[in-house]
Structures are given as structure tokens and as C-alpha cells.
A and B are shown apart, each in its own frame.
Chain A
Amino acid sequence: MSAAISTERVLEVRDLSVTLGGSRVLDGLDLSLAPGDAVWLEGANGAGKTTLLRALAGLIQSDGDVFVKGERAGTSAARALSRFVPDTAPLYEDLSVREHATLLGRVSGRAGADAAALEWCERLGLAERIDHYPAALSRGMRQKLALAVALGGAPPLLLLDEPLNALDSESRELLLAGLTAHAASGGAVLASGHQSDVALRWPGRRLRLEGGVALPPER
């Protein structure tokens, strides 16, 4: 490691490389997120957006250095400081919406996370289905539930894979406002997506993933 790791930075990525089946998907990527940063990650299909987020969450093998608030990615300490929401939200089919928010909020270990997750469920329009099982929810509603649980936990780093895909326009606005507030309170967000209208209104930085590295967006 050439330089000291800053605990001030929420996310510090140095020379990150991921090879899948002989193909180099990420190739020496560097990225740094300070408190208050909200980064919108765009790129063509297959550019490596999901791979990057999964590598940062420690779910796939990668080379390079990744630190979350100074903690090496993949360790319990780093995982406790971040939350990854995949593009298709896996939910416990035997838990109702309310139980998801309450139990997963408490499992995250942050004070008030359960109440905050319930509040986010209501704000995102899940109040009427609060005692329903996930099987009774549409794809968009399932996505909202996963996002509500993540936002309720308010970890320093949110890693969101295409969070807006199945959401209606009202929920998109609410989510963008929530992410802006999260960043304003000292957290950091790294979200991927294809929505050009959202990209134009995104409150923070935009980055383009191409050739396995992060570049400034095309003008």
C-alpha cells in the first residue's frame, strides 16, 4: 500500500481489478467518496457497474484495495458500515412488509433503524400493504421495500444497483430526495443506472464506467 488509508473518506478504492472467466471486467479502477458524496454511475450494458458494486460489497473476488471508512472491504467492520441493494431485491417470503422493516432494521444494529425503515415504507407508498407478504407486492413495491430497509439503516455508505428501475415517478423523486438527505447528513451514495433524466438531475457527481475504469461523464 503506497499511501495511508484515510478514515475520513467513506470509500477509498485503489487499483481495483475483477476478472470473470478470463475477461477483465474492472481494470485498475480508482475511486474515492468523501462524506456528502453522491455518485451516479453510468455505463453501457456489461460495462461492469454491477460487478463494481458487488466487488465493493465483498461478494465477488477482486484484486486491489477497497476501504470503507478505513476498514478493509469484506470484513465485518466494513460490511457494518455499508449496505448493498441489488437490482432484484431478495426478500424473505415468510415475512410481511412490516416484519421486514422491523426485524431487518433491528438486525442492522443501528438505533431507530426499524422505525426509520417503517417510515420509509410509508413514504414510498407501502402503507396499504404493510401487513402483506412479499408475494402480494409488485416488482416495484419489492424494490421499494428493499430500499426502505437500506435507507432506514442509514449506513455511512449506500451501494445501490439500478435502484430506480421499477419505481414510479413519484417514488423516484422521493428516493432521490432521500439519497440527497443521506448524503447531506454525512453519508455517501454510489448508485448505478441508465436513466438519463435522473442523471441530469442527480444531486452529486456522475461517473462513466468504460474499459474497466471510471471516467468523467460524456458531455
Chain B
Amino acid sequence: MSGPSAAEALGELRRVTLSRSLRGNVRWVVRAVGWGSIVYLVFWSVLLLTAAVQSIGPLEPRWAALVARWSTPVGSAILALALALAAASRVTPVWLDRRDLTHLVASAAAPVPVLTWPAWRAALPALSWGLLAGGALALLTPRLLGWHAPAALLVMPTLAVTLLSLRWRSALTGGRDALAWGLALTALAASAVATWCASIGVTQCSLSFGAPAAAALGVLAPLPAMAVALGLAVLATLVVRRTVRRSADDLPKTLLLQSEVLAELRAISTLRALAAMSMSAPDPGARFAASRARAALHGRAAAYRPRWSPRLPARGGAISAFAWLGIVRAWRSSPWSLLALPALFVGVPLSLAQPGPFGAAALLPSLALAWAAAQLHPGRAGWPGFAFDARARVLASMAMVASLTLLGSFVADLLRPVLSMVPQGEGWLLLPIGLAAVALVDLIGERAGDPKGLDVWLLAALLVTVPGALLGWLGVEPGVAAPIAGAVWLMVAWLRVLAAPTSA
């Protein structure tokens, strides 16, 4: 039998399985919820959404002026960050489930038809999120700002697909995709220029450099906005075509090696979502299983054996055995969550109550920096093409944070009349907090085996913010608290940099 008939059989297999699965799911929903309830829910959702949108009035002029000035550079900075994250991705967003891995990888059909459904399965959520974000922008900007942004409905899904394609290409090339990095760096440079233009009040310059963001926000006139959207659409198509062409002769090895774990992770997420939907308690082991699967994805030892196993007490019988079991299970499920929880309850209210540079003004950048540091953490494999050890990695991250904090301090001074959170000239006090956040993410991430985990970056951000917030709450002046925050950073940096092994 020749190739085309194998491809036809593959198409038939997908048609049969997907249509039956869809029918089965619809039947299940209708049986479980009922048509009446569905119509009722849709009716009230539409009504509430319409009422909510209509209740939104225009922003106050000073806020509107601020948004008009900064929305394009902020939007383009977010776009640059999203592109950089996509370019650094080493995990394929397209994967085969276990059935496909067993039955279809030996198919006589070319890889493209094998990958068509998995690619759609990855693209549909991205498209949905893009449409949702575009719809929200198209609905809200006319009411809030008086801008009309119909192009957002086209631009945002296009952007989502572009980012997905870049993630795929980056994963297939081990994070060395020149096109993805080129786009990310171009967007980063454009974002920097747009920010600089906005800071000196040259709006047109800012708009032209932040064109994709401006188009999505409706700041550009409809024609340029559509031109930008079309340009992005063409770019996305080219990216996808190159990706598919790259894998035309063979199924990508990354896809085969990562698929099983990604399928397992998806199954765990589905079970957790179903538990949440039915308002039942989630499986306590699911979180551990997900963490173990993520570690397996990156080949870390944490996927195969525990990092810490205390000796069971020789005496005490069943009670000590149960105590040991409880402690070990709590620790292995996620020790960082346990530590983050009290820090969350103490740190967030304390920080939000503080007006000075060690309150909310420190918490928010700390969270952002810790999150960004976690996302950019190279993991065990190191950066593509470079063998950075922990010391070099932390020092390089800190240099970047120092630059960003100084830039942030400058922006904070510009925004001070509106936000009035940071006293003039004190933005630099956030520097040691930012440095410590990055170093802590690296430190905790290595021990947790999952540097990108929510608990890791949340805990890191809170740990560096709480001491300053606590001192501020006790009435200590920022001039005194700053050296203490600096000492926290030095301690963490010493732990990570000086006490770190020289290999990654």
C-alpha cells in the first residue's frame, strides 16, 4: 500500500475518533447538565457581560492621559517578553498522546498528517485566548478610552499563533532558533525605543516602534492597524510553514522524547480541572505527580528519587512512623508551597499596607522579577550554546536586574505624580530587593528541581520583600532598612554564588 492511502487511513482515523469523542462529550454534558440549564447559563452570562460592559464609563482624564502615553511602550514590552520566552522555550507545545506514540509513529504517512491534529490541539487554546483578549480589548477600549480597536480581534489571535509557532520552532532547535531570537531581540529594541520616546513625550515615535501593541490596542488608525495585523499574519504563516517544512521528512525527535511526559502532565491537569469543576477535593498526589513529570521532562534526578529522606526513628512505633510519613509526604508534595503559604499571609498584607519603597512598591517588582527570573531559568541543560555555571548565571542575571531596576526607578519617578507610591529618588532602594529575588529563585529553583514553579518564584519574591516590609511596619526609616535589604541580598548571593559549585 502506498503513502497516500496510509495518509487517507490516518485522516479517517482522526475523523472517526474526533467526531465520536465530540459526540460523546456533548452527550455527557447534555446528560449531566441538561439543555435547559445550558440555555439558562448562556442567557445569564450574555446578560451579565453586556450589563458589565455597559456599566463601564470613560477613565478620568489624568488616567486616560497616562494610559495614552504608556500603553504602547508597556504593550510592546509585554510583546518583547512573550517573544523572548517563546524563543527560550525547550518544551514542545505540540505533542503526541500514548496511542499515537504506539500506533502512528511507525506510520507510512508523512509526519505532516500525523502532526495535523496535535498541532490543532495546541493551536485551539492559543487562538481562543487570543480571541478572548482581542475581544476584551475591542469591547473595553472604546468605553474606557474612546479608541476603537476592532483590529485587536485579528491581531491578538495572530500574535498567539505566532508565539505558539515560535515556541515550537525553539523547542525543536533546543532554544537556538535564530528567527525566534531575532524577532525577540528586534521587539526588545523596539520596546526600548518606544519607552524612551514615550518618556520624552514623542507619542508618534512611540507608536511607530510599538506598532504591534499599538495596533492591538486600537491606538493606530484602522488602516495601519490592519496592515500590521496582516504583516503579523503573514509572518505567522511563514513561521508555521518553515516549522512544518523542517519536520517534513521526519517526526521531530524532541516531540517523540517529550510527548509521553507532556501527555501525562495534560492528563493530570485534566483530572485536577475536573475535580475543581465538581468542587471535590483534588487528589493530593496529583501535584507531586505533576512536579515529578516536569522533572522527568528535563531529565532531573528529582523525577526518579527523593532529594531528602530522613531516617525513620528507631523507637516510637506507629505514632512516630505516621509522623515521619506526614512530614516526608508534606515535604515531597512541595516544601516550597508550605513555606510560601505563611510568607504569603504575612508578606502580602504587610507590603500592601506600606506606602514607602519597601511596601507594595517593592512587592510588585519583586514578584515580576522573580517570575521573569524563573521563566528565564535555563534549568539543568544550561543556556543554548553556553556552559554557564551557577556563578556566572547569577552574576549575569544580577547585572540585567540592576539595569532594569535603574530603568524602573527612572520610570517610577516619571509615574510618581500619579501613583505616589515611591518617593522621589528612592526607587534605587529596590535594587537589592530585585537582586536578592533573582538569586533566591536560582537557589530555591535548583533545590526544588522546578525553577519555573509558582511556589518557587512566589516564595523568592516574598522572602526578599518581607524583611523590609516588616521593618517599615515597625517604623524603621528606608535609609536604615535599605542596608538590611542589601544584607539579605548579599547573604543569598553568597549562598548562591560563592558557595555554588563551579559547574552548572
- A interface residues with partner B (beta carbon < 8 Å): 20-23, 57-61, 74-76, 79-80, 82-86, 89-92, 94-95, 99, 103-104, 106-111, 113, 146, 149, 153, 155
Is the beta-carbon distance between B253 and A74 smaller than 8 angstroms? yes
Is the beta-carbon distance between B299 and A95 smaller than 8 angstroms? no
Is the beta-carbon distance between B249 and A94 smaller than 8 angstroms? no
Contact flag A95-B16 (CB < 8 Å), given A61-B257, A103-B9, A107-B6 = yes
Closest-CB distance, B487 to chain A (whole angstroms): 36
A111 to B10 alpha-carbon distance, docked (Å):
15
A76 to B109 alpha-carbon distance, docked (Å):
10
A20 to B256 alpha-carbon distance, docked (Å):
16
Number of A-B contacts (CB under 8 A): 104
Counting chain A CB atoms within 10 Å of each CB, the highest count among B12, B102, B108, B109 belongs to B102
Is the beta-carbon distance between B106 and A82 smaller than 8 angstroms? yes
Is the beta-carbon distance between A94 and B16 smaller than 8 angstroms? yes
- B interface residues with partner A (beta carbon < 8 Å): 1-3, 5-6, 8-10, 12-13, 16-17, 20-21, 24, 97-99, 101-109, 111, 249-251, 253, 256-257, 260, 296, 299-305
Is the beta-carbon distance between A109 and B99 smaller than 8 angstroms? no
The residue from B16, B257, B302 contacting A59, defined by CB atoms under 8 A apart? B257
Identity of the chain A residue whose Cβ is nearest the Cβ of B111 in the assembled complex: A76
Is the beta-carbon distance between B6 and A106 smaller than 8 angstroms? yes
Closest-CB distance, B153 to chain A (whole angstroms): 34
Is the beta-carbon distance between B16 and A109 smaller than 8 angstroms? no
In the A-B complex, list the 4 residue pairs whose CB atoms are closest, starting with the nearest: A109-B108, A21-B304, A106-B9, A94-B20
Is the beta-carbon distance between A103 and B13 smaller than 8 angstroms? yes
Interface of B is mostly: helix
Is the beta-carbon distance between B104 and A107 smaller than 8 angstroms? yes
Identity of the chain B residue whose Cβ is nearest the Cβ of A19 in the assembled complex: B299
A158 to B392 alpha-carbon distance, docked (Å):
48
Contact flag A21-B299 (CB < 8 Å), given A74-B253, A110-B108 = yes
Counting chain A CB atoms within 10 Å of each CB, the highest count among B9, B257, B305 belongs to B9
A106 to B108 alpha-carbon distance, docked (Å):
9
- Determine the chain A residues whose CB is within 8 A of the CB of B253 once the complex forms: 58, 74
Contact flag A58-B256 (CB < 8 Å), given A82-B106, A107-B103 = yes
Is the beta-carbon distance between B6 and A146 smaller than 8 angstroms? no
Is the beta-carbon distance between B106 and A74 smaller than 8 angstroms? no
Is the beta-carbon distance between B250 and A61 smaller than 8 angstroms? no
6 more contacts with CB within 8 A, not counting A21-B304, A95-B13, A104-B103, are: A22-B301, A80-B107, A89-B102, A90-B99, A94-B20, A109-B107
Is the beta-carbon distance between A61 and B1 smaller than 8 angstroms? no
- Determine the chain B residues whose CB is within 8 A of the CB of A60 once the complex forms: 257
Closest-CB distance, B82 to chain A (whole angstroms): 29
A82 to B256 alpha-carbon distance, docked (Å):
15
- Determine the chain A residues whose CB is within 8 A of the CB of B250 once the complex forms: 75-76
Is the beta-carbon distance between B21 and A94 smaller than 8 angstroms? yes
- Determine the chain B residues whose CB is within 8 A of the CB of A84 once the complex forms: 102, 106
- Determine the chain A residues whose CB is within 8 A of the CB of B2 once the complex forms: 109
Is the beta-carbon distance between A83 and B106 smaller than 8 angstroms? yes
